Amino acid sequence: MSLTKQQIAQRIAKEVKDGYYVNLGIGIPTLVANYVREDISVEFQSENGVLGMGPFPFEGEEDADIINAGKQTITTLPGASFFDSSLSFGMIRGQHVDLTILGAMEVAQNGDIANWKIPGKMVKGMGGAMDLVSSAENIIVAMMHTNRAGKSKLLKECSLPLTGVQCVKKIVSNLAVLEVTPEGFLLLERAPGVSVEEIQAATEGKLIVNGDIPEMVV
Amino acid sequence: MSLTKQQIAQRIAKEVKDGYYVNLGIGIPTLVANYVREDISVEFQSENGVLGMGPFPFEGEEDADIINAGKQTITTLPGASFFDSSLSFGMIRGQHVDLTILGAMEVAQNGDIANWKIPGKMVKGMGGAMDLVSSAENIIVAMMHTNRAGKSKLLKECSLPLTGVQCVKKIVSNLAVLEVTPEGFLLLERAPGVSVEEIQAATEGKLIVNGDIPEMVV
Amino acid sequence: MISKKVDSVSKALEGVKDNMTFMLGGFGLCGIPENSIAELVKRNVKRLTCISNNAGVDDFGLGLLLQKHQIKKMVSSYVGENDEFERQMLSGELEVELIPQGTLAERCRAAQVGLPAVYTPAGFGTEVAEGKETREFDGKMYVLEHAFKADFAFVKAWKGDEAGNLIFKGTARNFNPIMCGAAKVTVVEVEELLPAGELDPNQIHIPGIFVQRIFQGEKFEKRIEQRTVRNKK
Amino acid sequence: MISKKVDSVSKALEGVKDNMTFMLGGFGLCGIPENSIAELVKRNVKRLTCISNNAGVDDFGLGLLLQKHQIKKMVSSYVGENDEFERQMLSGELEVELIPQGTLAERCRAAQVGLPAVYTPAGFGTEVAEGKETREFDGKMYVLEHAFKADFAFVKAWKGDEAGNLIFKGTARNFNPIMCGAAKVTVVEVEELLPAGELDPNQIHIPGIFVQRIFQGEKFEKRIEQRTVRNKK
C-alpha cells in the first residue's frame, strides 16, 4: 500500500541525525518535524531568518513578527536566534545546514530537480529553493511517485524548468526510498506491500534493483 | 611660517561639513576631531568597528574592549554603534562615509598616494588604507610638504609602492592647501607668511598657480 | 549625532517620482513598510520597479500598489497568494523578474556594501542563469549576479533612534537590514522612535549611517498571512 | 538545541596539528582568543599559517606563538608594534602576506557564507593586485579576491550560550563574527557561558550554527595597547 503524506514524512524523519541543522520546505517536508526522534538534538532553520523553530503558538499567542518560510506563525525554542536574509542564505550557501528536505514536481535520474514553475500555468517563483538545492550537500526529496494522471515524476530527464542540476541525493516517495546514483535511481526500500514491479512501472527513469528490496519500516 | 601639525589639523577641520561621517587616519588626521566646529553634526567612524566615537575616557574608565583603529582607548557618544569588520568596510566601500582624512608619505600629481611601505625598511602593512583610498569619494591628505631631508613629497610620480591610484582630491600640508586636478596640483591657499615661490620650490610635481593665492585662515 | 528624524511619512517620501526603482523590505506581510506603502498609494506614483521578496496579497502590502496599477515591474523570489498579481502578469501588464531568494538578498547586500557583483551557485543550469556569466571555482559552478541599483529603499524596523540606528524584531528582520544603504535614499519607519543614546550601541542591527530618513509609523496593522496555532493542553 | 559546549580549552582544541591554517579574531589586542592562543603555545604546534588582522605584540597575543617560532606564515593587514615579528620577517624565517583590512574581512565573510570570491576595489593598481584578476564594473576597477580556506577559526566572544550563540562587546567584535563558520572547525571562548535560552534570540550576533565548540575562558587579561585618557575636569 502506498504511503500517505504523513508516512512519507515519518520515513524521512529517520534520515534526520543527532546534531543536524535542517531546513524543511513547504508541504510534506514541514510534517517531518513532527516525527523526529525525541532523544536526538536537531534544530530547524527557516530561510526567512530563524534557527531553532518550535511548534505553532498557542491560540492567542501568535506574533505577526515571528513566522516561518511558509508564512505560518511559529514559536522558537531555547537557543533560537533571528537573523537577516543575507546571513540566512549564508548558512545555506556556506553548507552549515546539514540537511534540506523539499518537495518536487519532477526529479531526473541524474539528480536534476524541477519544482518551481509550470510554464503558462504556475508562476509563483522559486523562493529559496534554487539556493537550497545548489548549496546543500544532503538533499532529500519528498514527493508522490506519480502525478494525478498516473504519470511518473521520476524521469529520465525533467520536462519542466529546472530548479537545480544534479543535486538530489535521495527520494522518499509514496512508493519507495531511492538513492540517486550516477547509474540511475537505486531502489533501497519499498513501501509496505508495494512490489518492485509496481515501482518499476511508476518510474520512467532508470531504476536499479539490486537483489532483494526490503520493505520500509515507518 | 609653515604650519604645525596641530594647525594642519585645524585647517582640515574646516573641510568637515554638517552631516558628515568621517574616517580619520592615524597621526595628524586624529587631531582633526579636536577642531571641528561645535555647531555642526559630525560622526567619526573607526574601521575597527565603531561609529560615533567620542573623546578619550577619563582616567580609570578605560575599557579594553572599546578602542579606535589606532588601538587607543576611546569613548562613544549618544547614537554610537558597534559592528563587525565586514560591515565596517561595507560602510567605507559602499561610500556611506563622506570624508576620509589620512596621512601620506608621497602623493603624485595624478592623485596616486603611497603611505604604507618603504621597501626593505618599513613593513607594517596597509591596514585599512587601501580600502579607504579605493572607495572614498572625498579624500583629504594631511602631510608635511617635504621630508626631513627637505625633499618634496608632492611628486610627479610616487617612488614608493602605491596605496591607491588617482584617488587623492585635496592636500593640506604644512605649506599649502592644494587640489589635485587633471592638470596637476592646483594651489588654493598658502600657509601664513609662506610665499608661492617657497611652495613651488618644495613641490616636485606640477604646481598650478592661478592668480593671487590667499593665505589660509587657521 | 547626525539626526535622520523626519516628522511625517509625507516628508519621509519627498522626492519619490514616477519610473523610479524601489526596494521594499519584508517577507510575505511580515516586516513590510506599511506606512510608506500607504503613502506611495496616496501619491499615486506610477511605472515603478519594485524589488521585494514578495508582492503582498490582493488587499495588503504591495498588492495595494498593484491594484492601482502603479507597478511596472516586480523583482521578487516568490509571488504566490496574489490573484491580481497573477492576472496582471499573465495579461502582460506587469513585467516580472523572478530570482532566487538568496540571490535577491546578496544583490541587496552587495549594493549596501559597495560590492559590484557576487558569484552564487543558485540558479546555475536553470533559466535564471540564461544570458549570465557563469564560472567554475574549485569544481563548482557559479553565476555572476550584479548589485541592485535603486532610488529608494523602504524599510520597516522595530525600534530606531534619531541617529537612524535600527533594531529589528524576530523574523520581521528579513530583507530590511540589507536594504539599508542599498539605495540612494533609505527611508525607515519604526514602531518606536527614541532619542539618540537610548539604544545600546552593542545591540544595534543597522547603524544610522545606512539610513537617510527615519520616522515613527502612525499605524502598524501587521497582518498575519497564515495563522497557525496549536490547542492549549 | 544542539549543544556546542566543551569543558576545557584543551578539549576545544582537539585536532589542531602542525601545518594547519588558522583564523584568529581580534584587532590589535582587542578581542583576541587569549585562551586558545595560550593552549596553542602549550601544544607547541608548528609551521602554522595564521590569518589575523594583526600579529600581536612581542609578549602577548600572536606574539607568543612568534616567540616560539610556531608560525610559518602570517596573513594580516597590519603588523607593526612587534619587534620579533619584524626580525623574523626581515630574516626570512617568517613568510608574510599583507592584504587590505577590508579584503581580509570580506575573504573571511566569503568563506563563512559560501561565496567563492569577491571583487573589491581595494588594492587595484598596487602590488596587492599583482598576479590577480582585475575587472571593470561601471567604470571602476576591481580585484578578484578568493575566500579563505582554514582548518580552525579561533574566536573570542563576550557572552555565549550552550547552543553556540554569540554576543560580542564593543570593538572586541571586529573580525570575530565573520570568522565563525569560515573554517572547518570554529572554536569560541567566551567570558560568560550561559544555558540555552538565556540570550534574547533577537540580540544574538552570530547564531550557533556557525560554531562547533564553545568554552568558558579561564582568564581574560584583555591587555590595552594604547592607554589614552583625558583628565577629569
In a domain, B114, yes or no: yes
Q: Read off φ and ψ for residue C188, nearest 5 degrees.
A: -120, 135
* pLDDT value for C19: 98
Instruction: Test B64 with D222 for CB contact under 8 angstroms.
Output: yes
* Residue found under cell 530561510: A47
* Cα distance between residue D27 and residue D173, in whole Å: 9
- ipTM attached to this prediction: 0.97
Q: DSSP for C172-196?
A: G-TTHHHHTTSSSEEEEEEEEEE-T
pTM of the model: 0.97
Chain D positions in Cβ-Cβ contact with residue C121 (cut-off 8 Å): 114
Nearest neighbour of C228 by CB, restricted to A56, A82, A125 = A56
Which among B170, B176, B218, B173 is positioned nearest to B194, based on CA atoms? B176
Give yes or no for a contact between A178 and A208, defined as CB atoms under 8 angstroms apart: no
Print the domain residue range for B126. Answer: 5-208
Q: Which residues of B42-78 are buried (b: 16+ CB within 10 A; e: fewer)?
A: bbbbbbbbbbbbeebbeeeebbbbbbbbbbbbbbbbb
- To the nearest whole angstrom, how far is the Cα of D116 from the nearest Cα of chain C? 7
Nearest to D107 by CA among D171, D48, D49, D182: D182
Let me know if A15 is a catalytic residue: no
- A8 burial type by CB count under 10 A (0-12 exposed, 13-18 middle, 19+ buried): buried
* Alpha helix (H) residue ranges in chain B: 5-13, 28-32, 85-93, 129-135, 196-201
β-bridge partners, D50: D22, D74
Q: Is A35 exposed, middle or buried (0-12, 13-18, 19+ CB in 10 A)?
A: middle
Q: What is the pLDDT of residues A169-216, one digit of tens each?
A: 999 999 999 999 999 999 999 999 999 999 999 999 999 999 999 999
Orientation of helix C101-113 relative to helix B85-93, angle to 10°: 70
Cβ atoms C102, A133 nearer than 8 A: no
Tell me what the pLDDT averaged over chain A comes to: 96
Query: Long-range contacts for D4-7 (Cβ within 8 Å, ≥24 apart)?
Result: D4/D162, D4/D163, D4/D164, D4/D188, D4/D208, D4/D211, D4/D212, D4/D213, D4/D214, D5/D162, D5/D193, D5/D214, D5/D215, D6/D213, D6/D214, D6/D215, D7/D215
Residue-level pLDDT, tens digit, chain C, 233 residues: 999 999 999 999 999 999 999 999 999 999 999 999 999 999 999 999 999 999 999 999 999 999 999 999 999 999 988 889 989 988 999 999 999 999 999 999 999 999 999 999 999 999 999 999 999 999 999 999 999 999 999 999 999 999 999 999 999 999 999 999 999 999 999 999 999 999 999 999 999 999 999 999 999 999 999 999 998 76
Q: Which residues of chain B have pLDDT under 70?
A: none
Chain B with chain C: Cβ pairs closer than 8 A: 74
Number of C–D residue contacts, CB under 8 Å: 38
- What is the predicted pLDDT for the residue at D141? 98
Task: Give the model's pLDDT for residue D217.
Answer: 98
Indicate whether B214 belongs to any domain: no
From CA A82, how far away is CA C171, in angstroms rounded?
A: 6
Q: Is D116 on the interface with A (CB under 8 A)?
A: no
Using the predicted structure, report yes or no on whether residue D18 has a pLDDT greater than 70.
Answer: yes
Contact C116 D138 (CB under 8 A): yes
Q: Length of chain C, please?
A: 233
Question: How far apart, in Å, are the Cα atoms of C60 and each of B46, C30, C176, D109, D218?
Answer: 42, 11, 18, 36, 54
Task: Please give the tally of structural domains in chain B.
Answer: 1
Q: Tell me which amino acid residue D163 is.
A: A
**Residue C141, strand partner residues:** C136
Q: Are B112 and B158 in contact (CB under 8 A)?
A: yes
Pair A68, A109: CB distance under 8 Å: no
User: Measured between beta carbons, which residues in chain A are less than 8 angstroms from residue D197?
Assistant: 78-79
Of C1, C113, C114, the CB nearest to B79: C1
Q: Is the Cβ–Cβ distance between A96 and D212 less than 8 Å?
A: no
Q: What is the pLDDT of residue A123?
A: 80
All cell numbers assigned to B142: 594631511
**What pLDDT is stored for residue C233 in this prediction?**
64
**Distance (Å, rounded) from C-alpha A103 to C-alpha A140?**
9
Which chain B residues are within 8 Å of D153, Cβ to Cβ? none
Task: Say how many residues make up chain D.
Answer: 233
Q: Is residue A217 part of a domain?
A: no
> How far is residue A180's CA from residue A109's CA, in Å, rounded to a whole number?
6
Report if residue A181 sits inside a domain.
yes
Name the residue ranges covered by the structural domains of chain C: 9-115+148-216
Measured CA to CA, the distance from residue D123 to residue B163 in angstroms comes to 7
Q: Mutate which of C103, C113, C149 to test chain D, going by most D C-beta atoms within 10 A?
A: C113
| Statement: residue D232 has pLDDT above 80 | no
| Strand D166-167 versus strand D152-161 pairing type | antiparallel
C-alpha cell at C19: 519610473
SS3 D30: strand
Closest CA to A57 of A42, A43, A77: A77
Packing angle of the helix pair B85-93, D101-113 (nearest 10 deg): 120
**Cα torsion for D25, D27, D31, D37, to the nearest 10°?**
50
Please name every residue paired with D216 in a beta bridge, in sequence order, or none if there are none. D190
What share of chain D in percent tops pLDDT 70?
100
CATH of domain C9-115+148-216: 3.40.1080.10
Q: How far D96 CA lies from chain B's nearest CA (Å)?
A: 10
Mean pLDDT along residues A116-137: 92
Section D156-179 average pLDDT: 98
B134 touches chain D (CB under 8 A): yes
Catalytic residue from among A15, A38, A43, A47: A47
Longest dimension (CA), chain A: 55
Judge contact between D89 and D114, C-beta under 8 A: no
Q: What is the DSSP letter of D180?
A: T
CATH number of the domain bearing residue A37? 3.40.1080.10
Q: Which residues contact D169 (CB under 8 A, 6 or more apart)?
A: B65, B82, C202, D158
For residue D116, list chain C residues with Cβ-Cβ distance below 8 A. Answer: 119, 137-138, 140, 142
Question: Quick count: other Cβ atoms within 10 Å of Cβ A169?
Answer: 17
Backbone angles phi, psi at A86, to 5 degrees: -70, -45
Instruction: Verify whether the Cβ–Cβ distance D30 to B65 is below 8 Å.
Output: yes
Tell me the one-letter amino acid at B134.
S
Supply C169's cell numbers: 524584531
Q: Which residues of C touch A68 (CB under 8 A)?
A: 171
Separation CA C171–CA A64 (nearest Å): 9
Q: Are B79 and B4 in contact (CB under 8 A)?
A: no
Q: How far apart (Å, rounded) are the C-alpha atoms in residues D174 and B63? A: 15
Strand residues in C124-179 grouped as ranges (E): 134-137, 140-146, 152-161, 166-167
Top residue of A31, A85, A133 to mutate, by most chain C CBs within 10 Å, is A85
Secondary structure letter of residue B35 according to DSSP: G
pLDDT value of residue A122: 75
- Which of the four pLDDT bands, split at 50, 70 and 90, describes residue D233? low
Q: Per the domain annotation, does A218 fall within a domain?
A: no
